[in-house]
Amino acid sequence: MKHRIVVLGAGYAGAFAAGNLARRLAAADTEITVVNAEPDFVERMRLHQLASGQDLAFRKLADVFAGTGVRLRLARVTGVDPERRTVAVTGEDGDGELAYDTLLYALGSSVAHHGVPGVAEYAFDVTGRSSALRLRERLAGLGGGGTVLVVGEGLTGIETATEFAESRPDLSVALAARGELGAWLSPKARRHLRQAFDRLGITVHEHTGIEAVEPARAIATDGTSIPADVTVWAAGFAVHPIAAASGLEVAETGQIVVDRTMRSVSHPDVYAAGDCAYAIGENGRPLPMSCASAGFTNMQATAAIIARLTGGEVPTVGLKYYGNHISLGRRDAIFQMVDGDARSKSWYLGGRPAARLKSGVLRGAGFGIAHPTFGMPKRRRRLTTAPDRAGVRVAA
């Protein structure tokens, strides 16, 4: 019997992980299935570009996994039963159930509304392709002089505001920040960021929380009304409640609590990677929801799965950040180096060199997804244990 590995989600974490597992485990011993709601690999880090009106090419997951032996199931996950080791799905083929011996949970995250009135009804976001396309259509119909308010001073908010201001100079773009814009950056990088906002004509409302969103404005916590034909919510991410509902141990955020190898602390047959994993970094703090964290956690999870199935020693993958890449439109960017505690160092790279570096990072990630068999070893590793269907591991 083959060992059944099911990967939930084909974003940065899930797609990379599935490719790595297929590349390094013998097909004679394993059956790898990827469950994803969309047929394409969606580059989330480019969705603000899509929303601004730029045309992006999306890779078909069927093409990505062609020749790898990975099975693709286009369906939405509706539940996980870790006691029975099954996943409930629904799709064009109707409702179904998949059994697994090892589960890699990588369903990612969506926009966090934080309970703010009007966000769900009136705000837009760039956390998924469908929501980015909805925003794209709204912006396309917005005439010159229209107002756009981006809520959130994190990387998503900054990249979205600058992309819109550069692509649509006929619009009035503003950003609402709960604190100081770029407060975490080094002084020189912060100055570069402010100069970019000034150059693009972006209005910044610092120390401004938003307590309500209406069709044509946002209301700040001090009662100030900020005009906004379009409000873009970029104030954080939230995970799907499926993990919490399944009985897996989760943190207050709903993320799956994992050990250093990305293995669920409550269910050893379940691993988590990406935004849905509550993993502690080398600085002793939870990893933030980000593409970089997806890279760290999927590499650690796949390395642990492969080692445990093939009788090897589980390696430790570094969980340390080295810097932040921030796009400021297509021709400007900031690369801020950070120390082991994720505090900004004095050195940073800005302008076109930083923009080229960010573009290279995105191309590299895209290449890795599109070529899962790149560097395929001549001999893939055989399993030393095989599962029986009662859930007990027996010698292969």
- Report the CATH number at residue 132: 3.50.50.60
Residues 85 and 135 occupy one common structural domain: no
Residues 293 and 258 reside in one and the same domain: yes
Mean pLDDT, rounded, for 17-42: 95
71: buried, middle or exposed (CB in 10 Å: 19+, 13-18, 0-12)?
Answer: middle
348 in any annotated domain: no
Whole-number Cα distances in Å, 299 to 41, 62, 198, 260, 339:
18, 22, 40, 12, 22
Boundary of a domain, candidates 167, 201, 233: 233
Q: Are 264 and 270 in contact (CB under 8 A)?
A: yes
- Assess whether 229 and 250 both reside in one domain: no
Q: Is residue 16 part of a domain?
A: yes
> Three-state DSSP class for 338?
strand
**Largest distance between two CA atoms of the chain:** 70
- Could you tell me if residue 341 is inside a domain? no
What does DSSP assign to residue 143?
P
User: Tell me, what's the pLDDT at 365?
Assistant: 79
Say if residue 101 is in the same domain as residue 127. Answer: no
Work out the average pLDDT over 38-62: 94
Burial class (CB in 10 A: 0-12, 13-18, 19+), 343: exposed
Q: Are residues 105 and 118 in the same domain?
A: no
Q: Does the pLDDT at position 88 exceed 90? A: yes
At residue 373, the pLDDT reads 60
Residues 330-346, mean pLDDT to the nearest whole number = 88
Average pLDDT over residues 50-75: 94
At CA 85, angle to CA 82 and CA 88, rounded to 5?
A: 90
- What is the pTM for the complete model shown? 0.92
3-state helix, strand, coil in the chain (%, to 5): 30, 30, 40
The number of folded domains in the chain is 2
Candidates 255, 164, 233; CA nearest to 203 is 164
| Dist. CA 286–CA 272, nearest whole Å | 14
Confidence of residue 377 (pLDDT cuts 50, 70, 90): low
245 and 99 co-located in one domain: yes
Average pLDDT taken over every residue of the chain = 92
Domain boundary among 209, 233, 257: 233
pLDDT of residue 361: 83
Q: Is residue 358 part of a domain?
A: no
The set of residues, in sequence order, having a beta carbon less than 8 Å from that of 43 and lying 6+ positions away, is: 56, 58, 362, 365, 366
Range 252-263 average pLDDT: 97
Whether the pLDDT of residue 381 is over 70: the answer is: yes
* pLDDT band of 322, cuts 50, 70, 90: confident
Give the per-residue pLDDT at 379. 60
Say if 381 falls within a structural domain: yes
- Whether pLDDT at 388 is above 90: no
pLDDT of residue 290: 87
Confidence (pLDDT) at 390: 41
End residue of a domain, out of 167, 199, 233: 233
Given a cut of 80, whether residue 200 has pLDDT beyond it is yes
Asked if the structure places residue 306 within a domain, the reply is: yes
User: Any bridge partners for residue 128, and if so which?
Assistant: none
**In this structure, are 269 and 389 located in the same domain?**
yes
Residue 305 has pLDDT above 70, yes or no: yes
Give residue 194's domain range. 113-233
Phi (first) and psi of residue 117, to 5 degrees = -60, 135
Place of tokens 């969606």: 42
The confidence score (pLDDT) of residue 263 equals 98
> Within 13 Å, how many C-alpha atoms sit on residue 249's CB side?
13
Give pLDDT, residue 391: 42
Domain shared by 133 and 103, yes or no? no
Half-sphere CA count of 25, side-chain side, radius 13 A: 32
In a domain, 391, yes or no: yes
- As a whole number of angstroms, the distance between CA 268 and CA 337 comes to 36
Res 395: pLDDT: 34
Same domain, yes or no: 204 and 123: yes
* 185 & 274 share domain: no
Q: Is the pLDDT of residue 387 over 60?
A: no
In this predicted model, what pLDDT tens digit does every residue of 212-236 receive, in sequence order? 999 999 999 999 999 999 999 999 9
Q: Is residue 165 left, alpha or beta, with left meaning phi > 0 and alpha meaning psi from -120 to 50?
A: alpha
Find tokens 């760039």 and name the residue: 126
The verdict on 35 and 77 lying in the same domain is: yes
Q: Does some domain include residue 331? A: no
In the predicted model, is pLDDT for residue 292 greater than 60?
A: yes
CB-based burial of residue 52 (10 Å sphere; 0-12 exposed, 13-18 middle, 19+ buried)?
buried
Q: Note the pLDDT of residue 372.
A: 67
Residue 245 and residue 219 share a domain: no
